Amino acid sequence: MLGSVTIFHSTVVSSPFTVNSVRLDLGLSRLWRQICSFAYTLWLFTFSDLKTVFFPTLIFGTAAAPMSSTSQIIPRVIWIWLHLLQFCLSNQCLSPEEDASNKPWRPIPSGRITVANARSLRWAMLAVCLSVSAHYGVLAPSVALALGTLAHNELGMDAAWLPRNMCNAVGYAAFNAGATYVAYAGGEHKAMAVAAQVLNALVIVSTIQAQDFQDTEGDRLTGRKTLPIVFPRSSRWAMPVLLAMWSAFLVAYWHAPVVHGAVLSAMGALGEPGLCCMTTPRRTGSLIVCITSGCVLYTLRRSSPGVDRSVFPLVQYT
């Protein structure tokens, strides 16, 4: 009898701990699900721009970096994605109607986050990006990108095609500069790396409208005057010409070997029939190939033994 009482008493005393343990497990499980859901929401903000911003910038930064080091890979990935998230938050807060038409799976139109919360997160990310950039020694590109984002989105300079293209060029140039020099302790900027960044910005300012063909319905809803809307036919036919010209120029500029130049020029030309026929995936792919080809050509040129140092005669080479 005493034993049974003792057992009963032990059960009563230990049961609160059992209940609390279960509650703790449930709380941790719920917290983990919320963390995963929030991380997935952030991922969705950037998903559609991974192929047009994240991966080309990552390739460019790796190719154009003055010194190749594995220690720069993780900082480069973190820096690019955080700044891409900052831009996407800013952009998507201002155009939920457009996204509801073009990309209803994005976080705001799908109801995963409210516009007010996304806007608060946008300004919080500005502080995060500046802090991370200061830590990695690339504060200037981060400030330039923040100003370009403000001009493009909040100040409405994306409403007309010319300031829109200029803001995009500034944005890509800032992305490329940050990706090139993030966590770089050398200090000096080699002239060939600067040349690659300048050329890439010029490619962007003259061809970034390739991305606008897929968003014409949403752009009309928001009143934007992009090139595909203002000049629907001429902008379509100009793209293959621009891509061919840039491909040939980059091959000649970096003095690529014949085989490499032919292959990369052919890659740039792959999407030209798609550009004329208004097939969006090939159009965007052509722009990416053109930008990436310039990065590859730069890498080949930098690694070749007979570098022509008269390309920028007024700049001191290191």
Q: What is the pTM of this model?
A: 0.74
Q: Tell me the C-alpha distance between 251 and 249, whole Å.
A: 5
Q: Half-sphere exposure of residue 210, counting CA atoms within 13 Å on the CB side?
A: 32
Q: Give just the sign of the alpha carbon dihedral 204, 154, 162, 220.
A: positive
Q: How far is CA 91 from the centre of its chain?
A: 13
Check whether 157 has a pLDDT greater than 70: yes
pLDDT bucket at 195, cuts 50 / 70 / 90: confident
What pLDDT is attached to residue 178? Answer: 93
Query: What is the average pLDDT across 300-311?
Result: 41
Structural tokens at position 290 = 């053109």
Q: Tell me the C-alpha distance between 221 and 171, whole Å.
A: 24
Tally the residues of the chain.
318
Q: Give just the sign of the alpha carbon dihedral 196, 202, 205, 207.
A: negative
Range with the poorest average pLDDT among 82-86, 167-171, 186-190, 219-223: 186-190
What pLDDT is attached to residue 199? Answer: 84
What pLDDT is attached to residue 7? Answer: 44
What pLDDT is attached to residue 130? Answer: 97
Percent of the chain predicted with pLDDT > 70: 72
Query: What is the average pLDDT across 213-231?
Result: 78
pLDDT in tens, 2-55: 444 444 444 444 455 566 666 666 677 888 889 999 999 999 999 999 988 999
Indicate the average pLDDT of the chain: 77
What pLDDT is attached to residue 281? Answer: 41
Query: What is the average pLDDT across 140-166?
Result: 91
Q: Give just the sign of the alpha carbon dihedral 186, 59, 54, 311.
A: positive
More confident residue, 83 or 268: 83
Structural tokens at position 312 = 């920028």
Check whether 248 has a pLDDT greater than 60: yes
Q: Tell me the C-alpha distance between 122 and 144, whole Å.
A: 16
Check whether 170 has a pLDDT greater than 80: yes
What pLDDT is attached to residue 226? Answer: 83
Burial class of 176 by CB neighbour count within 10 A (0 to 12, 13 to 18, 19+): buried
Query: What is the average pLDDT across 137-150?
Result: 94
Query: What is the average pLDDT across 183-212?
Result: 75
More confident residue, 204 or 318: 204
Query: What is the average pLDDT across 121-138?
Result: 96
